[in-house]
Amino acid sequence: MNRSSLCLVLSVLALIMGVSGCQPASPGTNRDASKTANANVTKETVNPVAIEAEITKLENEWATAAQRHDASAVRKFLADDLVMTYPDGSTGNKTSELSTIESGAVTLDGWEVSDAKVTVLGPDAAFITGRSVLKNAKYKDASMKKAIDISGEYRFTDVYARRNGQWLAVASQTTPIKNPEPAPSPVASSSKAPPTASPQASPK
């Protein structure tokens, strides 16, 4: 092979190698890397059974504390931005709820709860709904001369959010049932506190 032919061959080989080195990565390369990265991300699992049990436990503690006028037992799981909506449409907050519980303004012989259901929205959000019957329930604060009868049947919804690992009540609404139908057998005797409220919140 003469010198000119050898130079031509070397030039062709250099050109081929240069083109090969500039070829883009195969289409599947980035996808495979993405799959590997996603596989390393740990997804938080939701345990509905455990969440339902925790929300039900807090509702029971709320009810017991209301009966015993023990505000300190409730304070730990009421959010600072709690919004209470009472049967007449008036609203309250954490401070007013704790004050009402501690004052003993609400008294009652007992209540029954049915249709209790916890709905889990995700790892950090859930709400509970149900139907409650208040028996011989009265509301009377220091400014009132006579107690108001708040006995009757209600529907309630309490919303919870998990913040920094702790479940907190962030909203609560109670609505009176004007013409109640016969309630099914109660599932618990004290799983929901009575609708503690201002005098305006008593059922009409």
Closest to 127 (Cα-Cα) out of 165, 101, 162? 162
- Cα 101 versus chain centre, distance: 22
CATH number at residue 52: 3.10.450.50
Note if the pTM is more than 0.75: no
Cβ proximity of 119 and 136 under 8 Å: no
What's the mean per-residue pLDDT of the chain? 78
31 domain-assigned: no
In a domain, 114, yes or no: yes
Q: Measure CA 71 to chain center.
A: 21
Among 20-24, 74-78, 82-86, 158-162, the least confident range: 20-24
Task: Give 42 or 88, the one with higher predicted confidence.
Answer: 88
Q: pLDDT higher for 78 or 29?
A: 78
Question: In sequence order, which residues have a C-beta less than 8 Å from that of residue 180 and are 6 or more positions away?
Answer: 152, 153
Q: Establish if 99 belongs to a structural domain.
A: yes
Q: How many domains does the chain have?
A: 1
Q: For 116-137, what is the mean pLDDT?
A: 94
Distance between CA atoms of residues 53 and 63, nearest Å:
15
In-domain check, residue 13: no
- The answer as to whether 138 is a domain residue is yes
**Residue 64: inside a domain:** yes
Is the pLDDT confidence value at 7 over 50?
A: no
Residue 32 domain-assigned? no
Residue at 76 is within a domain: yes
Nearest to 55 by CA among 110, 120, 115, 114: 120
136, 121, 132: which is closest to 87 by C-alpha? 132
Residues 24-73: pLDDT tens digits?
555 554 555 555 555 444 566 889 999 999 999 999 898 888 888 899 99
Look at residue 68 in the predicted model and tell me its pLDDT: 86
Q: Percentage of residues in the chain with pLDDT exceeding 70?
A: 67
Question: What residue numbers bound the domain in which 164 lies?
Answer: 48-198
pLDDT the model gives residue 190: 43
